[in-house]
Amino acid sequence: MSDVLAPGAVIGIIGGGQLGRMTALAAAPLGYRCHIYTPEKDSPASQVAEKTTVAAYEDEKALTEFAASVDVITYEFENIPVDTVQRLSELVPVRPSQSVLAVSQHRVAEKDFARDSGAQTAPYRHVTSLDQLQEAVADIGRPAVLKTCRFGYDGKGQVKIMDETDLAAAWASLKSDDAVLEGFVSFDKEISVIVARSLDGSCTAFPVAQNHHVDHILSTSTVPAAISEATEQTARTTAVALAERLDLVGLLAVEMFVTGDGGVLVNEVAPRPHNSGHWTQDGCVTSQFEQFVRAVTGLPLGPVDILFPTVMQNLIGSDVDQWKALAAEPHAKLHLYGKAEARPGRKMGHVNRISVS
């Protein structure tokens, strides 16, 4: 295929976080170089990349020079201006496209998209005023959760609506006039699927990860997930359908709930590598990061067979202080992100514990 980038090509990565770091590390064995674009100095990704541009996402001169230095552009997180990606896409291929980014940046847009694609979701309503919130709560009921439509992650930008919750106070605390009210659903498990789609339209879904959150932050991902074969197939088929309808080139992470009857509800999507896919670095034939590189450069996608049952544990804040013990633990694979300061709630690294029999 003429669109396949040859070894030696440069991948531009917008964002300097740990996902960019691990993508750059996966690109190197395939012969690709990476150029990071980030406003952050000494970012985790810049520590392992060939080149870094430190500039604002609105800096037109820096963006133009960045685009001229790379062969393809991708991004490692989605909270970047769509206008920035649009501008770059006029100069060099951007994968995934800005249309994919736009869907993933807005909670109502992504839920509408999931529903329109035939997937199931929890009940939800778009809320832009206190009056609309009151109407939505009357319709959906309590308990529920009110979330900002943009820029929320790891539990930030949301408030629970319980029987005793004062709606006016809840609305004021959100500090946004663009929100979504989501009804609580009874679910047995939280799962996710990472799906890759390449330039030629081929799609591959990784095995389902079963996720456990603590204080709204992912704590562990376990593979294989303790779900039925039918639920596994439904989850992977759903993720593939979303990727295909988006005309995605790259990775799409789909977070889902498993209901008591084995059904699957789509919660959120992210068009990039995902925390719940870190298990693939040591437990899968192809890691999510290598697959990401393969997809955006046009290489054939790799196989996703499970090599070892794996439990990924996030190292949050001071958890990273255990690095020495973790490095000595048999069958534990330590991955640190190069962040200088451990703060509460900050992801500092992860460890993959593989089961070798």
User: What's the rounded Cα separation, in Å, for the pair 332 and 350?
Assistant: 10
In a domain, 331, yes or no: yes
- pLDDT, position 89: 97
Residues 146 and 198 in one domain: no
- pLDDT, position 186: 87
Residues 239 and 287 in one domain: yes
Residues 69 and 150 in one domain: no
Residues 195 and 253 in one domain: yes
In a domain, 137, yes or no: yes
CA count, 13 A, side-chain hemisphere, 4: 11
Q: Which residue has the higher pLDDT, 2 or 124?
A: 124
- pLDDT, position 151: 74
Residue 31 dihedral angles phi and psi, to the nearest 5° = 90, 10
Domain boundary residue among 73, 94, 115? 94
Residues 221 and 272 in one domain: yes
Residue 296 has a CB neighbour count (10 Å cut-off) of 28
Tokens of 127: 């809320």
In a domain, 305, yes or no: yes
The yes-or-no verdict on residue 108 having pLDDT over 70 is: yes
The yes-or-no verdict on residue 216 having pLDDT over 90 is: no
The yes-or-no verdict on residue 267 having pLDDT over 70 is: yes
Residues 134 and 268 in one domain: no
- pLDDT, position 45: 98
Task: Compute the average pLDDT of residues 253-265.
Answer: 96
Residue 356 has a CB neighbour count (10 Å cut-off) of 8
Nearest of 267, 280, 212 to residue 239 by alpha carbon? 267
Residues 241 and 324 in one domain: yes
Confidence of residue 155 (pLDDT cuts 50, 70, 90): low
pLDDT 10s digits, 190-214: 999 999 999 999 999 999 999 999 9
Domain boundary residue among 183, 202, 221? 183
Residues 271 and 343 in one domain: yes
Confidence of residue 177 (pLDDT cuts 50, 70, 90): very high
pLDDT 10s digits, 54-95: 999 999 999 999 999 999 999 999 989 999 999 999 999 999
pTM of the complete model: 0.94
User: What's the rounded Cα separation, in Å, for the pair 173 and 147?
Assistant: 11
Residues 258 and 302 in one domain: yes
pLDDT 10s digits, 36-55: 999 999 999 999 999 999 99
Q: How many domains does the chain have?
A: 3
The yes-or-no verdict on residue 160 having pLDDT over 80 is: yes
Domain range for 61 is: 10-94
In a domain, 118, yes or no: no
- pLDDT, position 1: 41
Which of the 8 DSSP states describes residue 321?
A: G
CATH of the domain at 334: 3.30.470.20
CATH of the domain at 129: 3.30.1490.20
pLDDT 10s digits, 305-320: 999 999 999 999 999 9
In a domain, 75, yes or no: yes
pLDDT 10s digits, 218-245: 999 999 999 999 999 999 999 999 999 9
Please report which helix (H) or strand (E) contains residue 250, including its range. Answer: strand 250-258
In a domain, 130, yes or no: yes
Residues 195 and 259 in one domain: yes
Handedness of CA 5, 28, 312, 300 (dihedral sign): positive
Residues 240 and 328 in one domain: yes
Residues 206 and 339 in one domain: yes
Domain boundary residue among 94, 113, 133? 94
In a domain, 151, yes or no: yes
Confidence of residue 2 (pLDDT cuts 50, 70, 90): low
Where b means 16+ CB within 10 Å and e means fewer, 176-195 reads beebbbbbbeebebbbbbbb
Residues 6+ apart with CB under 8 A from 350: 275, 278, 312, 313, 314, 315, 335
- What percentage of the chain reaches a pLDDT higher than 70? 98
